[in-house]
Amino acid sequence: MKTRFHCPCCEHRTKSFVRYIYTQTGEHIHPMVGKCNRDLKCGYHYTPKQYFHENPQYHFEPKLIVRKRSFSTQKAWSCIPFKSFNESLCDYEDNNFVQFLLNKYGNEVTTKAIENYYIGTSDHWKGSTIFWQIDQDGKIHTGKIMLYDLNTGKRVKEPYDHIYWSHKFLKLDNFSLKQCFFGEHLLSDKSKTIAIVESEKTAIIASLYFFDLIWLACGGISNLTPEKCEVLKGRNVVFFPDLKAFDKWSEQLKMVAHIANFRISNFLEAKASNEARSSGWDLADFLINFDLCDFQEKLSENVNVNKWQVLPKDSKGSEHKIYVEINNITIDKGIDWNFEIGVISEKIRGKKFNLCNVELYKGQVIQDIDIFIDSHLKALKTAEKNCYLLPYLNRLKLIVKHLETNNLV
């Protein structure tokens, strides 16, 4: 039986419409009863409940079926073989997305992105990329295969949308899919605030500009389910919705609001032009217009990504909308790195502070301050002046200021 059809509402060329079926017979309820997967561009969703309410003459009376007791409370799910995953971590010269990153950001930054997110290469389409979904236990749930334009970094959508799945490409028998967040394996760092966007590409690019956050991708608003969000329990989480998608994200977050401390960022809303709004930009569309080094220099120690602002109710009495306010602060470009590092090193020379759980920013806690200082100094001393490491220097200066305030140095 066919599972996807042309949407009766938007009639998009791709078969984005999934029809509801009678679970007992496997037959479709009606050609109009279903959901279009183009959440933002269409959003058509006609439920069985609505259909039977409007057409009582077709009301379905389910038969009572007695099933044998199952002793398993959770359905078993499958993993991608490590061998298949490992074999994809190569051939980056044939990976359009990686080549786009190289041309835009250079070798060092791109290599870091590949290593952090285990970006893979697929031969499903020439030049295609695999975004692996890996959980905190290192289990590989699946991989999303996508094709990007080598020059623009945009997804190839002609003559059709180039999206596929690794478990289908590998033709794994009886594969039971359970998706997780893209980037979920990075959640072991409990000190950082989590940032969530829709697309995998956006998560990777945003991580280059705001690397004090852990960047995840949910793959679409409808994928933001309570089950998937359980891994976020108790964490500080900021959502960065695409332009035009704020209201839909707000509605979806009601389902998971009890799990973590969720907030929605107004970064794009505050910075985007009218042209960007009409095009429905996401965060990556905005960020790639900036030179990475210049952007990092403006993102100084005074930027507080955890400064929350609650806006009042609108005239319709809708709920409060919560935003993150991010300010651009210009810093002195003429930094003498050797001098700055020398001053810090001299102040803490030979000292062990044995301090734990020091709050650097609101929501960002350093578990061991001695390890933190040592790792940051090593990173700065072994690298030449590099604006990509500027936040390391700023964090060290904040720590020294904290120690001086408490008469520890």
Q: What is the pLDDT of residues 9-39, one digit of tens each?
A: 777 777 888 888 877 667 788 888 888 887 7
Predicted local confidence at residue 65, as pLDDT? 45
Predicted local confidence at residue 145, as pLDDT? 98
Predicted local confidence at residue 177, as pLDDT? 94
CB 141, CB 80: distance < 8 Å? yes
Predicted local confidence at residue 60, as pLDDT? 54
In this predicted structure, the answer to whether residue 137 has a pLDDT above a threshold of 60 is yes
In this predicted structure, the answer to whether residue 51 has a pLDDT above a threshold of 90 is no
Predicted local confidence at residue 149, as pLDDT? 94
Rounded CA-CA distance 343/333 in Å is 18
Q: What percent of the chain has pLDDT over 70?
A: 79
Mean pLDDT across 42-64: 69
Predicted local confidence at residue 303, as pLDDT? 44
Q: Which tokens sit at 244?
A: 């035009």
CB 314, CB 320: distance < 8 Å? no
CB 29, CB 22: distance < 8 Å? yes
Between residues 65 and 324, the one the model is more confident about = 65
Q: What is the pLDDT of residues 183-235, one digit of tens each?
A: 999 998 888 999 999 999 999 999 999 988 999 999 988 888 999 999 999 99
Rounded CA-CA distance 308/265 in Å is 9
Burial of 180 (0-12, 13-18, 19+ CB in 10 A): buried
Between residues 134 and 340, the one the model is more confident about = 134
In this predicted structure, the answer to whether residue 64 has a pLDDT above a threshold of 60 is no
Rounded CA-CA distance 144/97 in Å is 13
Residue 390 backbone class (left: φ over 0; alpha: ψ -120 to 50; beta: rest): alpha
Exposure class string for 29-56: b at 16+ Cβ within 10 A, else e: beeebbbbbbbeebebebeeeebbeeee
Q: Who's near 20: CB < 8 A, 6+ residues apart?
A: 28, 29, 33, 34, 35, 47, 48
Predicted local confidence at residue 12, as pLDDT? 77
What is the overall mean pLDDT for the chain?
Answer: 80
Predicted local confidence at residue 43, as pLDDT? 75
Rounded CA-CA distance 102/25 in Å is 52
CB 238, CB 305: distance < 8 Å? yes
Between residues 48 and 108, the one the model is more confident about = 108
Phi, psi at residue 360, to the nearest 5°? -80, -55
Mean pLDDT across 325-335: 39
CB 177, CB 78: distance < 8 Å? yes
CB 163, CB 243: distance < 8 Å? no
Q: Which tokens sit at 65?
A: 């079926």
Measured at the CA of 353, the angle between CA 352 and CA 355, to 5 degrees, comes to 140
Bridge pairing between strands 236-239 and 261-264 = parallel
Mean pLDDT across 293-321: 46
Give strand ranges (E) for 161-266.
163-165, 194-197, 214-217, 236-239, 261-264
